[in-house]
Amino acid sequence: MQIAHRIDELRSQVRTWRQAGERIALVPTMGNLHQGHLALVDSARELAPRCVASIFVNPLQFGPQEDLQNYPSTLEQDCAQLIEHKTDLLFVPNVSEIYPRPLEHMTQIEVPGLSRILCGTARPGHFAGVATVVAKLFNMVQPDVAVFGEKDWQQLMVIRRMTADLNLPIDIVGVPTVRETDGLAMSSRNGYLSAAERHIAPNLHATLKSAAQRLLAGERNFLAIETDALQTLSTTGFKPDYFHIRRAEDLAEPQHSDQQLIVIAAAWLGRARLIDNYPVTVGDT
């Protein structure tokens, strides 16, 4: 696996592959890789003969009170795992390579609407930070396809919208969430959980699932389902940020006739803010 720290190194390798007519898949990450990331790499390898992964803890998507300084970094282990999963090139830039000027002077990309709801309410500026860094990575790598986890469903929707609005010729592929055996969605932030919190954490998935089961059983009183779920989460020890049933494709409030829904939630457990979701296809009522 080649490692590039600079944009010109990255571009020179990518140019060689392009000239040889090879398709390129990109997997953007912030490192501290787990099985969820490796599933993205495996999908990328099925989608294109060349796979580029990036590791960049993007300061633009962290709020001033968030965990930027403590975000886990495990570069040596990450490299070993990426080699094992046959990544061709790892791009690991430093902050000044991506943002050569102070962050507040850099051009940013805002996806209106979608960026301001759900996680965007609690994390103002977060999705502009994500959209901006992903658009920059897309311009640097110019991949044919880019792969993201469905665990970050709202992020995936923001990236799809940004790619479509900017007419970027890149297929955006979502990969289903990889879970621990007890249902907890894999996430770098699970490492913040104490042993007692880790025991409670799978209740987030269980609560999403039981809401989805009520929808599948034909119930359409969305507010009642959401209210019960918030109550369950609070009782089990979470501090929920939100728990909503939304239309899957654009996260709008659903009509009773909508069939592709997503149950989506964010909740604090100790110092970890966990997010998860449960896509559900319901029949006609």
- Closest to 126 (Cα-Cα) out of 273, 228, 263: 273
Specify the stretch interacting with ligand PAF by CB under 6 A; choose among 9-17, 81-89, 129-137, 266-274: 129-137
Are 233 and 243 within 8 A, CB to CB?
yes
Pick 78 or 152: Cβ nearer ligand PAF: 152
Note whether 175 binds ligand PAF by CB under 6 A. no
Q: Which residue type occupies 172?
A: I
Using rule CB under 6 A, residue 134 touches ligand PAF: yes
30 binds ligand PAF (CB under 6 A): yes
Give min distance, CB of 236 to ligand PAF, in A.
Answer: 26
- Structural element, H or E, at residue 261: strand 260-269
- Beta strands across the sheet bearing 239-247: 239-247, 260-269, 272-281
At a CB cut-off of 8 Å and minimum separation 6, what does 152 contact? Answer: 275
Site string for ligand PAF, 36-75 (x = CB under 6 A): ----------------------x--x--------------
Nearer to ligand PAF, 37 or 50 (CB): 37
Of 93, 91, 125, 123, the C-alpha closest to 108 is: 125
Considering only residues 109, 128, 130, 269, which one is a binding residue for ligand PAF as defined by CB under 6 A?
Answer: 130
Q: Are 132 and 60 in contact (CB under 8 A)?
A: yes
Length of the chain: 285
Residue type present at position 100:
P
The reply to whether 185 sits near ligand PAF by the rule CB under 6 A is no
Instruction: Give residues with Cβ within 8 angstroms of 156, minimum separation 6.
Output: 148, 149, 150, 172, 174
For ligand PAF, the closer of residues 39 and 233 by Cβ is: 39
147 makes contact with ligand PAF (CB under 6 A): no
Catalytic site positions: 37
Among 133, 140, 185, 212, binds ligand PAF (CB under 6 A): 133
Q: Is 88 in the site for ligand PAF (CB under 6 A)?
A: no
Query: Near ligand PAF by CB under 6 A, which window of 116-124, 128-136, 224-232, 273-281?
Result: 128-136
What would the two tokens of residue 82 be? 């990426």
Non-local (6+) Cβ contacts of 38 within 8 A are 81, 85
| Interface with ligand PAF, residue 162, by CB under 6 A | no
Any contact of residue 28 with ligand PAF (CB under 6 A)? yes
Nearest residue (CB) to ligand PAF, 57 versus 200: 57
Sites of contact with ligand PAF (CB under 6 A): 28-30, 58, 61, 130, 133-134, 152, 155
